[in-house]
Copies of this chain bind each other. A is one copy, B any other.
Amino acid sequence: MFNKIKIIPEQNKKYFTGYPNNVCVVGVQVDDKKNFMPAAWNVGLSYNPFLYGVSVGTDRYTHELLNQADCFTVNFFDFKHVSTIRSLGRSSGSEIDKEKEFNLPISKSDKIDAPIIDSAYCTLECIKKNQITIGDHTLFVGEVISITVDKEIYNGEYGTLDTNVISPLGYLGIDNYITLDHNSRTSLKKLPMHYRENKLR
């Protein structure tokens, strides 16, 4: 039984009730300046075309760069990289070179001018299709033109992430991180549907 309270959101307060989110690190480059910023607010937006969104505060240095760039990468990490991801979030590319400061292993993409982080288990290479300012953030919409992923992690057995091999990094707010319990994993694929087969997407 719940014992529920009502909270009326106040200005300038942050609420973390919708978390956890799977953190990504956005990679962007303008001229010679590369930068990397963790974004808890990242989300799928469309299957066809395959569009992915990252929401970035308008006061962030990464916002300036994404504003000028025409592409970016979205990089996903195992929980073991938690300290690096936190450091990337609690520093600003306007003051330091994050690649050097945190010894990030970086590759060039052969398709777009945005850096790939090699320690990520998965990288989405995105061409910026749109940017929509919503409140104090901008949603950058990218078309995913290439997915780089470890073949053991995204394999035929599941058609989804193999959580036995990888422990994705979840964010709960206020510098709290968590990962998944692989043993809780449940497939309900074989249950009957409630509507007609030909109406399934």
Given contacts A8-B146, A122-B17, contact A189 B161 (CB under 8 A): no
Contact at A76–B137, with CB atoms within 8 Å? no
Given contacts A8-B145, A176-B189, A193-B90, contact A2 B121 (CB under 8 A): yes
Q: Which residues in A have some Cβ–Cβ distance to B below 8 Å?
A: 2-9, 11-12, 14-22, 24, 40-53, 55, 57, 59, 74, 76, 79, 82-83, 86-87, 90-92, 95-96, 101, 118, 121-122, 124, 130, 132, 134-137, 139, 141, 144-152, 154, 158-161, 163, 167-168, 170, 172-182, 184-189, 191, 193-195, 199-201
Closest beta carbon of chain B to A56's beta carbon, Å: 11
What's the Cα separation between A7 and B123 when bound, in Å? 10
Contact at B184–A79, with CB atoms within 8 Å? yes
A6: contacting residue among B47, B118, B146, B170, CB under 8 A: B146
Residues of B within 8 A of A189 (CB): 174-176
Contact at A176–B160, with CB atoms within 8 Å? yes
**Identical chains bound together, number:** 2
Contact at A201–B22, with CB atoms within 8 Å? no
Contact at B45–A41, with CB atoms within 8 Å? yes
Given contacts A187-B176, A195-B95, contact A49 B135 (CB under 8 A): yes
What's the Cα separation between A196 and B200 when bound, in Å? 52
Residues of B within 8 A of A141 (CB): 134
Task: Please name the residue on chain B nearest to A147 by beta carbon.
Answer: B7
A16: contacting residue among B15, B136, B159, CB under 8 A: B159
Given contacts A48-B136, A146-B7, contact A18 B90 (CB under 8 A): no
